[in-house]
Amino acid sequence: MLPGEAPAGRDADSRLFHTYKWQALEATFREVCSRFGVEEIRTPIFEDTALFHRSVGEATDIVAKETYDLEDRGGDSLTLRPEGTAGVMRAIVQHGLAGGQNVLLRLYYLNSHFRYERPQRGRYRQHHQVGVEYVGADDPMADVEVIALGMTYLREVGLDDVRLEINSVGTPTCRPVHREALRDHLRPHLAAMSEDSQRRFETNPLRILDSKDPRDQEFIEGAPAMIDYLDDEAAEHFAKVQAGLANLGIPFVVNRRLVRGLDYYQKTAFEVVHTALGSQNVVLGGGRYDGLLSALGGPAVGGVGFGSGVERALLILEQLERPIGARKLAQVYLVAREAGERATAQRVASELRAAGLRVDYDLQGRSQKAQLRAANNAGCGHVVFVRDDLPAGWVQLKNMADGEQAELAIADLATRLTTVYLSR
């Protein structure tokens, strides 16, 4: 790597020129969150490495081979956050935010995440997610609320043709029962299955259900599903979530094989998929993580949340040729040529900008033709000719749409233009 060259897989540079899309997406997300009474939380970009190992799960692929680990000058091991939930939970525990009884925290974040993996389209070592966490709510209505927020966000950002898939991954009491049933079912066929599945047979057999390896498919077909082993508590919770979604008219399908990549999920798990991206079709995913807060030393309260990839959402919108946001280019361009005219133009620009207008003028000493071209390219509605041969204090105002132009006193310019561009 040359000095000054960007490290691999961040895709930061190519974002430079379409940030208006990011801004529009972010604004939509923040706005939807505010309607749901959700406030922003900002957590550090790195955490103690142990936090992610304890919360995300040792056996998950994220921790096993994808965390971006760094050592600081003191020799401590830090990890750039691979996902959003763990850091939020750590902050809640550390600051006692969920200390009182019946405290409900509704938080959203919008930040960078890092995974040390091979970059590819729509998947970068530094990527961004928006997400929400509802902490302190055991009620299934909270699950429904979180899902509703996510669906609203996707719809308003331009992704309404998506499919919501839900499942229940059980509780710590019923999951082991299913796990053994699953192992009993798979054990006779183990030798014929993929290496990954053989490894997961010991570490995390539930993940085998999620395998896409063709060798595994026939054995997965008849495998016992978690959903058939739910205890009363989990079954009732799952039923209420479904009833709640129906109550809101949110379409969903139960995907019996849906499993999430992180260990901390319990009961509800959900994904929202879009068909435009092939195998990378998940645009939003989340679930309930009731044991997580207490596992990190906090109170035994439940939580539910989701994360959604920003790059992926923008990529789908791009593929579907759905516009999002717009560049805010100049509304008014000041044309000047001689030194005296240019000084006047700079002063007038300053006045018009103070009045709230988006104003531009030439800083490179280019020809009048080039200046007009710039005005045209920016889509300016008006051009102001600053000319020494006019009476002092007067300029020419040209309407670019119809070509009409008239002389006007500089003193009247701001009023005239603000009525065009700022009144509504």
Q: Which of 400, 413, 414, 417 binds RNA (CB under 7 A)?
A: 400
Beta-carbon contacts of residue 20 (< 8 Å; ≥ 6 apart): 325, 326, 327, 328
- Total residues at the site for RNA (CB under 7 A)? 68
Q: Cα 119 to chain center, whole Å?
A: 18
Q: Which of 302, 307, 331, 417 binds RNA (CB under 7 A)?
A: 307
DSSP assigned state of 175: H
Q: Which of 252, 274, 234, 228 is nearest to 166 (CA)?
A: 252
**366 belongs to the binding site for RNA (CB under 7 A):** yes
Quick one: which segment of 9-17, 20-28, 47-55, 149-157 binds RNA (CB under 7 A)?
Answer: 9-17
Q: Which is nearer to RNA, 113 or 342 (CB)?
A: 113
Does 124 engage in binding with RNA (CB under 7 A)? yes
The edge-to-edge listing of strands for the beta sheet with 253-254 is 39-40, 105-114, 126-135, 303-309, 282-288, 266-273, 163-168, 253-254
The order of strands in the sheet holding 77-80 is 46-48, 77-80, 68-71
The total number of residues written for the chain in this structure = 424
Kindly tell me which of 5 and 72 has the beta carbon lying closer to RNA. 5
Task: Give the torsion through C-alpha atoms of 57, 62, 63, 64, to 10 deg.
Answer: 110
Least distance from RNA to the Cβ atom of residue 295, Å: 18
How many Å apart are CA 397 and CA 410, to the nearest integer? 10
Q: How far apart are CA 212 and CA 30, in angstroms?
A: 35
Nearer to RNA, 47 or 165 (CB): 165
403 binds RNA (CB under 7 A): yes
User: Distance between CA 159 and CA 175 in Å, rounded?
Assistant: 34
Name which of 103 and 282 has its Cβ closer to RNA: 282
217 forms part of the interface with RNA (CB under 7 A) = no
Query: Closest separation between CB of residue 335 and RNA, Å?
Result: 8
Q: Which is nearer to RNA, 82 or 97 (CB)?
A: 82
Q: Choose among 51, 30, 44, 2: nearest CA to 297.
A: 51
Contact window for RNA (CB under 7 A) among 27-35, 70-78, 164-172, 259-267: 259-267
Q: CA-to-CA distance for 216 and 351, rounded, in angstroms?
A: 70
User: Does the protein bind RNA through residue 10 (CB under 7 A)?
Assistant: yes
Compute the least distance from the CB of residue 180 to RNA, in Å.
22
Place of tokens 């092939």: 278
Which one of residues 112, 138, 189, 261 is an interface residue with RNA (CB under 7 A)?
261
Instruction: CB nearer to RNA: give 2 or 392.
Output: 2
Question: Which residues are near RNA by CB under 7 A?
Answer: 1-2, 5-11, 60-62, 65-66, 83, 113, 115, 117-124, 127, 129, 196, 207, 210-213, 260-262, 271, 278-280, 282-285, 307-309, 311-312, 366-370, 372-377, 383, 385, 396, 398, 400-401, 403, 405
